Amino acid sequence: MINTNNLNTMKTKFILLFSMALLAVTGNSFAQAPDDCTITLSYFTEPAKIKNYEAALPFYEKLIKECPNYNLAIYQYGVKMFEYFVEEKGDKSKLNDLIQAWELRLQNFPSQTKEGDVLSTIAQIKFDNNIGSKAEQFKAFDDAFKKHPADFTSGKSLYAYFSLAVDLQNSGEKDLQEIFSLYDVVISKIDTEKNSLASKLTPLMDKEEAGTAALTEKEQRAKDVYENNLGVYATVEESVNGKLGQLADCPNLIPLYEKDYEEKKNDIDWIKAASNRLDAKDCDSPLTNKLAVRLHELEPSSTSAYLLGKQAEAEGKASKALEYFNQAADLEKDNSKKARIYYSIAENYRKKGSFGTARNYYNKMLDAKPSAGIAYYKIGAMYSDSANNCGTSVFEKRAMYWLAADMMDKAARVDGTIAGNARAAASSYRARAPQASDIFSEGMAGKTVTFKCWVGGSVRVPNL
């Protein structure tokens, strides 16, 4: 028989123990203090949001010691705080804190931080505030660029990177060939960024030009950003070329490459670099032809064919030049170089008066390099030159200037290096196009003028 008294005693003990355990658990949960990191973060971010950084600073210091990986906001607001102290208050003693804030963000939140952005930003801070020697500043940019070239997109930093290299060459710490090599890398990077922006801008320009639908608010904002950034890169490109200055002029280049030719004449990469540099500066020297011929002997390629084409062109052999240029275009894989070849072919046809064929090659150039504003510029100039041959009436002939002006507008938008000249040309062309009085007297408001010459296409006459 089961002893009920013992059973009841066991049940009582079990319930008592369970109740004590439950009480301990619930009691502990009610007694637990709120998260100290949460409180400290709140004490830091609330004043930081209203830029009361003096009140926020002590809590930032506590956070990075006790809760360094608690929340990304620590470093987002931390960077803003130290930028304020340095840039607005002029407190240079906070520069190391600013650099540390970036470094701690990368260390504690690597998955939410682009290392390339951080490294280039720190390099820029050191450059702007003259921290370390020029060699140390250059190394900071060099490390950032070589580790993460895709993230190195700041035009300001690209210029600083190259500028420091030239300064180091001037002081004898780098040789001239290093500068040329870096120049090619930096210009290529600028081209990449410009082409990316121009390829996004082009469809928006086409939509705007078609007039079938207005740009949305979002598209207009994007268009403004693309155009502004293209302008920034154009300024950087001009500054880089200005910094290179006389170092890359023919009087320096020709003796440099002549001196090394015998030693380097079997080095394909050296010959390519020397040939491209001399060609870019239009250096007139027997060395130019010697390099082109030697390159074609060692490695028949797009580059060698292009250089031989340039040589034939300089000698007045247009047909032979065209033959070489077409060979070069077929062989070339690099879009920037392909664009340069298409430009040479287009120019060859334009000078012969074959405008339709020239336009085809200018458009091929734009396909390869969307930021090549010079192609739009040349097409616009050809439209202007053809005004008297397109149309059966004076009004139709003058309407051609609207098309020419539109091309100049495109040139200015995608390529800041020629924007001034392009805008001036567009203004001049619009002054030659039919004015309001002409549109009224001819009854052409809102109508379409179609061009049946080589230009083709049409233009819609503005409404009055």
- Give me 101's structure tokens: 């804030």
| 124-167 pLDDT per residue, tens | 999 999 999 999 999 999 999 999 999 999 999 999 999 999 99
Residues 90, 172 within the same domain:
no
Q: Is the predicted pLDDT of residue 19 greater than 90, yes or no?
A: no
- Give me 301's structure tokens: 């390629």
Report the phi/psi class of residue 132: left, alpha or beta, with left for phi > 0 and alpha for psi in -120 to 50: left
Residues 93, 152 within the same domain:
no
Residues 155, 209 within the same domain:
yes
Q: What is the DSSP track for 357-391?
A: HHHHHHHHHHHH-TT-HHHHHHHHHHHHHTGGGS-
Residues 159, 225 within the same domain:
yes
Q: Is the predicted pLDDT of residue 7 greater than 80, yes or no?
A: no
The Cα 326–Cα 306 span in angstroms is 8
Q: Supply the pLDDT for residue 98.
A: 97
The Cα 95–Cα 118 span in angstroms is 15
With bands split at pLDDT 50, 70 and 90, how would you rate the model's confidence at 310? confident
Q: Which of these three, 88, 113, 138, is where a domain ends?
A: 113
| 231-279 pLDDT per residue, tens | 999 999 999 999 998 788 888 889 989 998 999 999 998 898 888 888 8
C-beta of residue 444 within 8 angstroms of C-beta of residue 436: no
- Give me 107's structure tokens: 């260390």
Neighbour tally for 72: CB within 10 Å: 13
The pTM of the full predicted model, rounded to 2 decimals, is: 0.73
Q: Supply the pLDDT for residue 21.
A: 41
Q: Supply the pLDDT for residue 280.
A: 79
Residues near 6 by Cβ (< 8 Å), separated by ≥ 6?
none
Q: Supply the pLDDT for residue 343.
A: 95
Please check whether residue 364 lies inside any domain of the structure.
no
Please check whether residue 273 lies inside any domain of the structure.
no
Instruction: Quote the distance between the C-alpha of residue 434 and its chain's center.
Output: 38
Q: Which of 322, 307, 248 is nearest to 272 (CA)?
A: 307
With bands split at pLDDT 50, 70 and 90, how would you rate the model's confidence at 8? very low
Please check whether residue 403 lies inside any domain of the structure.
yes
Please check whether residue 204 lies inside any domain of the structure.
yes
Residues 376, 456 within the same domain:
yes
Q: Supply the pLDDT for residue 289.
A: 83
Residues 241, 168 within the same domain:
yes
Percent of residues, the chain, with pLDDT higher than 90: 71
Residues 82, 159 within the same domain:
no
Residues 106, 152 within the same domain:
no
Please check whether residue 176 lies inside any domain of the structure.
yes
Could you tell me the CA-to-CA distances from 264 to 67, 232, 270 in Å, in that order?
59, 38, 7
Please check whether residue 174 lies inside any domain of the structure.
yes
Between CA 209 and CA 217, with CA 461 as vertex, the angle to 5 degrees is: 35
| 374-401 pLDDT per residue, tens | 999 999 999 999 999 998 899 999 999 9
C-beta of residue 352 within 8 angstroms of C-beta of residue 175: no
Q: Supply the pLDDT for residue 276.
A: 83
| 60-107 pLDDT per residue, tens | 999 999 999 999 999 999 999 999 999 999 999 999 999 999 999 999
Residues 103, 162 within the same domain:
no
Residues 160, 109 within the same domain:
no
| 25-44 pLDDT per residue, tens | 333 333 223 478 999 999 99
Q: Supply the pLDDT for residue 314.
A: 83
Residues 108, 160 within the same domain:
no
Q: Supply the pLDDT for residue 1.
A: 42
Q: Which ranges in 109-216 belong to alpha helices (H)?
A: 115-128, 134-147, 155-170, 176-210
Q: Supply the pLDDT for residue 26.
A: 35
Question: What are phi and psi for residue 333, nearest 5 degrees?
Answer: -110, -30
Q: Supply the pLDDT for residue 283.
A: 85
Domain that holds residue 182: 148-247
Highest mean predicted confidence (pLDDT) among 6-10, 319-323, 366-370, 388-392: 366-370
Q: Supply the pLDDT for residue 426.
A: 97
Q: Is the predicted pLDDT of residue 302 greater than 60, yes or no?
A: yes
Q: Which of these three, 212, 247, 282, is where a domain ends?
A: 247
Give the alpha-carbon dihedral of 193, 198, 201, 202, to 10 degrees: -160
Please check whether residue 72 lies inside any domain of the structure.
yes
Mean pLDDT score of the chain = 89
Q: Which of 98, 247, 265 is nearest to 177 (CA)?
A: 247
- Counting the structural domains of the chain, the total is 3
Please check whether residue 264 lies inside any domain of the structure.
no
Q: Which of these three, 220, 247, 274, is where a domain ends?
A: 247
With bands split at pLDDT 50, 70 and 90, how would you rate the model's confidence at 9? very low
